[in-house]
Amino acid sequence: MPIEPVLIIELALLGLATGFLAGLLGIGGGMIMVPFISAILSGRGVAPGLAVKMAIATSMATIIFTSISSVRAHHKKGAVRWDIVKKLAPGIVLGALLASVGVFALLKGALLYFVFGGFVAFSAVQMYLDKKPAPTRQLPGTPGLLGAGGVIGFLSGLVGAGGGFISVPFMTWCNVAIHNAVATSAALGFPIALANVAGYVIAGQGLEGAPPYSFGYLWLPALGVIASCSVLMAPLGAKAAHALPVKKLKRAFAVVLFTLALYMLYKGVLAMGV
């Protein structure tokens, strides 16, 4: 069964847009991809509950590639806080595996729409209000960062995002500069994506109702096209992130996330048949 040219064009445009936003906002692109991939799959006859799960898994897989591309650009500017990455990564991997291998497969698709929309909306509001952290607040110690990493990895596994929607607000709340937070979040996207994708493949074996060219919960045509295009645009987004003033960067982050949160909450209502 050949893949239609129109589908390839749609996925390519989505990849270009998400790659740029991944580099710009450090969100891994998942927040953009999940609504659009779920809509494309639904349009191809995939049940809504399964469509959102496959969209989440596929978007997470593309983050493996966008993370590598965008973090290289951020690293060249010396913006990545590798000391934070090293302390958050172990917890992230554990939390991600717990979510993707176990909880993800058990949850109903409609509920995932609400989980996705709710956390994105919360992050968007916090970022848009630009609340200033207490001047004395600092990052927690190693145990605290290990626990924070577990939460980031677990929630990322449920919603198919690179963790930027939690890690960026968390780091800025702890007085990490926004540009460093975005760059560090991009670096964290790699271990988040790798652990979660392994879980989605394991949990999705023997899946019924999946479209052609699926591997577990992954939809391979979307993964291939989006990843190829997004890798090209991520460095341009990272470059733009360092050129924008702090407040505009936070506002851009918030507006994108809030719009998508509303869309996913709406889709959740439809999936429940309310």
Cα separation, 228 vs 207, in Å, equals 26
Q: Among residues 179, 177, 150, which one has the least CA distance to residue 166? A: 150
Instruction: Identify the pLDDT of residue 91.
Output: 92
Instruction: Identify the pLDDT of residue 246.
Output: 62
pLDDT digits (tens, 9 = 90+) for 164-181: 667 877 888 888 888 888
Higher pLDDT, 157 or 196: 196
Instruction: Identify the pLDDT of residue 134.
Output: 62
pLDDT digits (tens, 9 = 90+) for 177-197: 888 888 888 888 888 888 888
Q: How confident is the model at residue 118 (pLDDT cuts 50, 70, 90)?
A: confident
pLDDT digits (tens, 9 = 90+) for 62-81: 878 777 777 887 788 888 89
Higher pLDDT, 274 or 248: 248
Q: What DSSP designation does 106 have?
A: H
Residue 194 token pair: 């790798």
Q: Which residues contact 156 (CB under 8 A, 6 or more apart)?
A: 30, 60, 92, 95, 96, 99, 162, 163, 166, 192, 196
In Å, how far from its chain's centre is CA 79?
20
pLDDT digits (tens, 9 = 90+) for 24-57: 765 556 667 888 898 889 888 888 788 888 988 8
Cα separation, 8 vs 123, in Å, equals 32
Residue pointed to by tokens 């919603």? 159
Measure Cα distances from 108 to 16, 215, 267 in Å. 30, 20, 13
Instruction: Identify the pLDDT of residue 12.
Output: 92
- For the entire predicted model, the pTM comes to 0.73
* pLDDT > 90 in the chain, percent: 5
273 pLDDT above the threshold of 70: no
User: How many degrees, rounded to 5, is the angle at CA 251 between CA 247 and CA 125?
Assistant: 120
Residue pointed to by tokens 């000391």? 83
Length of the chain in residues, anyone? 274
| Mean pLDDT across 89-110 | 80
The pLDDT mean for the chain works out to 80
Instruction: Identify the pLDDT of residue 274.
Output: 47
138 pLDDT above the threshold of 50: yes
**Residue 138 region by backbone torsions, left for phi larger than 0, else alpha for psi between -120 and 50, else beta:** beta
Computed from CA positions of residues 216, 32, 166, 273, in that sequence, does the dihedral angle turn out positive or negative?
Answer: negative
pLDDT digits (tens, 9 = 90+) for 249-272: 777 778 877 887 887 787 778 767
